[in-house]
Chain A
Amino acid sequence: MAQAAIELIGINKSFGAVRANRDINLEIARGTIHGIVGENGAGKSTLMSILYGFYQADSGEIRVGGNPASIKTPNDAIALGIGMVHQHFMLVDNFSVLENIILGAESDALLKRSIAKARSELERLEREYGLDVDPDAIIEELPVGLQQRVEILKALYRGAEILILDEPTGVLTPAEADHLFRILKQLKDQGKTVVLITHKLREIMAITDTVSVMRQGTMVATRETRKTTVEELAELMVGRRVLLRVEKGEAEAGAVKLAVKNLTVKDSRGVTMVDDISFDVRGGEIVGIAGVAGNGQSELLEAISGIRRAVSGSVMLDGKPIDLTGAADPGELRDRGLAHVPEDRHHVGLVLAFEENENSILGYHDDPRYLRGPFLNVDAIMADARDKIEKYDIRPGNPRLKTANFSGGNQQKIVLAREIEQDPGVLIVGQPTRGVDVGAIEFIHKRLIAMRDQGKAVLVVSVELDEIRSLSDRILVMFAGRIVGERGPEATEGELGLLMAGVERQEAAA
């Protein structure tokens, strides 16, 4: 049995009322590649930030190499031989590779000697681990895969024995990712310990020895990789919570209300996030888009709702095209009957500093009902807000209260009430119940199904498989920007989990 490189014992960490880590126990064996999987917000990054000294745990103990360690800053972590490669690189773009590597580890007041020393050390590291990078290349001229290699070299230069990689393949092409895995295996062979944080199950299966699954701040399981399966991990990740099945009848799908054709969308870094997607949503049906977070769902929603520019393709709303050039006015789309409940209600769907009644008109503040000439019709707005508060059971029922003081579930109800009460023809909803208390989930689901039963077209994107399965009449699975499969609501969790993990080919044969 290999000796433990790192032991975490009873780690707890809260941010305000949110318990990001609760009572985490984890043992990482020396000389292994240990994967940590979990959905966004499961607490993986928080845990690693505690290990690397960005945060302090509220309680619990960290042992490195069997000895209790106090890690208060990243410097403490480095001194203990822990290195971290961040999801977003911490490199100075206009410095050379060598300059970046010695940054913060300069051993002399004058750079010359540090650089000479670093150069010979770097050459040794590159030979030993097969990490070829030109030491004099300027960072911004290097492709992303090589930049990541520099990050790894930086950690090794500082004497890292334990290397933590946070979502390392998110920005890599498949070929670059394969190369990275070869490097990681080589590091392991040299006796280094690697901790790989990811939500991509394929990577876990490909290179880890052990895998731990986190969900909602807790460590739910640790498995030997060769003794587990993608299905089991997906199930552990998504969680087998109480199935919140809301009663619903057969869908009576009508005419196509929303038609997406060959849509391609890039994010701000130029990475293709939505890759040539086509699908229809008909009146009277709920189409659910399942997928692990970060596979292009957010960009898809933003493009359809006119917030983000699309590269190519078309979206038809009631047979008429939506402007995808980025000049689309979300207000005009609202007038055409497209309502949008955004994924990020804190920054997009709501203004948290506003009073509840002010948020209940956001996006519809042009509506003459709420105006008296150029002035806000405060009486009408308040009456309207009270009406929605009653209908949607928003608590506390005070329209003058600051929105930030409502719970997640009630904030979501404020958004839903606003969008649904406008009686739109098409409703698109991102993460309908993220961060929403269990009581409100059922209510929200019922509302969405009621919309469907009125003949509206509803498009739901969610990372919660249970939710997708209980709401949808048709399920589309997104992986790496593409729709990799369509299933009916009777699809099993395992089946969808495989599609979500991007292993559709084996599945297609079955």
Chain B
Amino acid sequence: MSTPYAKLPAWADYGLIPLINLSVAFIVAGFVVLLVGENPFRAAVILVEGAFGKGTGIAFTLFYATTFIFTGLSVAVAAHCGLFNIGTEGQAYIAGLGIAIVCLSFDSVLPWWLTFPLAIVASAAVGALWALIPAYLQAKRGSHIVITTIMFNFIAASIMVYLLVGALKPAGSQAPQTRNFLAGAELPKLNWIIELFGAKIRSAPLNVTFLLALAMAFLVWLLIWRTKLGYEMRTYGHSPKAARYAGISETRIIITAMMISGALAGMMALNPVMGDQHNVAIDFVSGAGFVGIAVALMGRLHPVGIVLAAILFGMLYQGGAELAFEMPAISRDMIVIIQGLVILFAGALEHMFRPYIQALFASFSPRSVGMEAVKGKGA
């Protein structure tokens, strides 16, 4: 009775419903394309071909996906503990600072495979510390984590701007960014993997961070479903009262979950900074933290779902860029609208179609939706 929506077979829950939500989002997006006088079917073809048609497109799609896997995992870890971390954006941004310090210090002395682990640790540590403050305020002072993490996004942005136009900027430079890293802080590309399958790649930023993202997805799965800590986080997330009953410290679990969430957000910065731009520039996160919320929701907070959702959003980013190039009537803003629709239907309106689908399933086969559990007389 308490979970009226929990009665669908798993394949419908995890496959059918996201698919329907996604389709509706694209249908509505199609009408928007129609409205600006373009052919929605051609637009769809350009979008998909742009993302997956050529090797370069695939590499770009996976590059964007890497970023979204990190932010999606970050949001999901906090969400499993019942916390809504909106601060992924700021945690990733400020983590750029940790990476900058490691890279600028060691890029001339260490090879990439030594700089990279140091940078991973630095980015995770800075991200975690940035999440620690709102977590502490929530646990000890009851300040709402949604509000504080939003505020910390602004604080992070201000600090980074201050540093990038000041201390981190090479003397005499006009650009608000660090100097470019040397070879010791440039991550190797992974384009050869796609080339193995026969595709050609001109130049694309897909790099080893992608593998780190996949490893983290696995570790998050392990953490949430296979460790004592994950068990405690889920208990608190489902029922703080039950957690209190079970002797789980509210303070400890909130702070731990938020720090892990912040660490994952921080690692996101490795991908654009060390894998692509080779410097830390203003606004390098550019909204990926917020996309992470949609990715986590769409992926139903499960690492496999998050990886798939991240690839979908990577496709929208990459295919969208191609679309804006091919169809002049469709500007960059149109792409944002399409992404917004996907977020709206897959995230915010996630449960909109569920009652109908459930009714449909119930009319076909009552057993499949668990109706046999309520046989006999009522309680």
Residues of A within 8 A of B227 (CB): 374-376
A358 on interface, CB distance cutoff 8 Å: yes
- Chain A contact residues (Cβ within 8 angstroms of B): what range? 35 or more
User: B198 contacts the other chain (Cβ, under 8 Å)?
Assistant: no
Query: Is the Cβ of A14 less than 8 Å from the Cβ of B378?
Result: yes
Residues of A within 8 A of B379 (CB): 17-18, 407-408, 435, 437
Chain B residues closer than 8 Å to A376, beta-carbon distance: 226-228, 231
Interface: A119 (CB within 8 A): no
For the complex formed, measure the closest distance between the CB of A297 and the CB atoms of chain B, giving whole angstroms.
Answer: 17
Of A348, A402, A437, the most chain B CB neighbours within 10 A belong to: A348
Q: Is A404 touching B246 in the complex (CB atoms < 8 A)?
A: no
Query: Nearest Cβ distance between residue B3 and chain A, in whole angstroms?
Result: 5
Compute how far the CA of A342 lies from the CA of B374 in the bound complex, rounded to whole angstroms. 25
> Residues 217-244 of chain B: 1 if any A CB is under 8 Å from the residue's CB, otherwise 0?
0000010001111011011001101101
The stretch of A59-67, A236-244, A363-371 in contact with B is A363-371
CB–CB A363/B246 < 8 A: yes
Are B378 and A18 in touch, CB under 8 angstroms? yes
B363 interfacial by beta-carbon distance below 8 Å: no
Q: How far is the CB of A244 from chain B (nearest CB, A)?
A: 17
Evaluate whether A331 and B246 lie within 8 angstroms (CB atoms) in the complex, with A14-B378, A346-B2, A437-B379 already known.
Answer: yes
Bound together, the chains give a CA A405 to CA B231 distance in angstroms of 20
**Do A365 and B374 have beta carbons less than 8 Å apart?**
no
Is A279 on the interface with B (CB-CB < 8 A)? no
CA distance A88 to B244 in the complex (A): 26
Q: Could you say which of B3, B228, B370 has the most chain A C-beta atoms within 10 Å of its C-beta?
A: B228
Q: Is A227 in contact with chain B by the CB < 8 A criterion? A: no
Interface 1/0 per residue, A233-259 and B, CB below 8 Å: 000000000000000000000000000
**What class of interface size applies to chain B in its complex with A?**
20 to 34
Residues of A near B3 (CB, < 8 A) are 352-353, 404
A347 contacts B232, C-beta separation under 8 Å: no
Q: Is the CB of A404 within 8 A of B241?
A: no
**Which residues on A sit within 8 Å (CB–CB) of B242?**
347-351, 362
- Per-residue A-contact encoding for B236-264, CB less than 8 Å = 1, 0 else: 00110110111111000000000000000
CA distance A405 to B373 in the complex (A): 7
Docked Cα-Cα span, A16 to B373, in Å, equals 12
Q: A330-B244, A353-B3 are in contact. Are A375 and B239 (CB under 8 A)?
A: no
Query: Does B6 count as interface, using CB distance less than 8 angstroms?
Result: yes
Interface pair A358/B231, CB less than 8 Å apart: yes
Q: Give a binary string over A413-435; 1 marks a CB under 8 Å from any B CB, 0 the rest.
A: 00000000000000000000001
Residue of A nearest to B7 (CB): A405
Residue of B nearest to A334 (CB): B247
A89 located at the interface, meaning its Cβ lies under 8 Å from any Cβ of chain B in the complex: no
Q: How far is the CA of A337 from the CA of B260 in the complex (A)?
A: 34
Q: How far is the CB of B104 from chain A (nearest CB, A)?
A: 35
Q: Does B1 contact A (CB under 8 A)?
A: yes
* Interfacial chain B residues near A331, Cβ < 8 Å: 246-248
How far, in Å, is B326 (CB) from chain A's closest CB? 46
Does any Cβ of B come within 8 Å of A443's Cβ?
A: no
Please indicate the chain B residues that have their CB under 8 angstroms from the CB of A362 in the complex. 235, 242, 245-246
Give the shortest distance, in Å, between A57 (CB) and chain B (any CB). 16
Residues of B within 8 A of A30 (CB): none
Given contacts A330-B245, A332-B247, A351-B242, contact A402 B6 (CB under 8 A): yes
Is B235 a contact partner of A351 (Cβ separation < 8 A)? yes
Closest to B232 in A: A365
**Complex interface residues of chain B between 363 and 377 (CB less than 8 A to chain A):** 370, 373-374
* Pairwise interchain contact B246-A330, C-beta atoms closer than 8 A: yes
Interface string of A151-167 (1 = CB under 8 A from B): 00000000000000000
Contacts of A329 in B (CB 8 A): 247, 249
Would you call A137 an interface residue if the criterion is a C-beta within 8 Å of the partner chain's C-beta atoms? no
Closest to A406 in B: B373
> Of B6, B239, B244, B378, which is within 8 A of A307 by CB?
B244
Whether, in the assembled complex, A456 has its beta carbon less than 8 Å from a beta carbon of chain B, the answer is no
Q: Does A105 contact B (CB under 8 A)?
A: no
> What residues of B have a CB within 8 angstroms of the CB of A342 in the complex?
245
Residue in contact with A19 in the complex, picked from B370, B374, B378, CB distance below 8 Å: B378
Task: Please name the 5 residue pairs, one residue from A and one from B, whose CB atoms are nearest each other, closest first.
Answer: A331-B247, A363-B246, A330-B247, A16-B1, A17-B378
Q: Could you list 7 examples of A-B contacts with CB < 8 Å? A: A18-B378, A329-B247, A347-B242, A348-B241, A353-B238, A362-B246, A378-B226
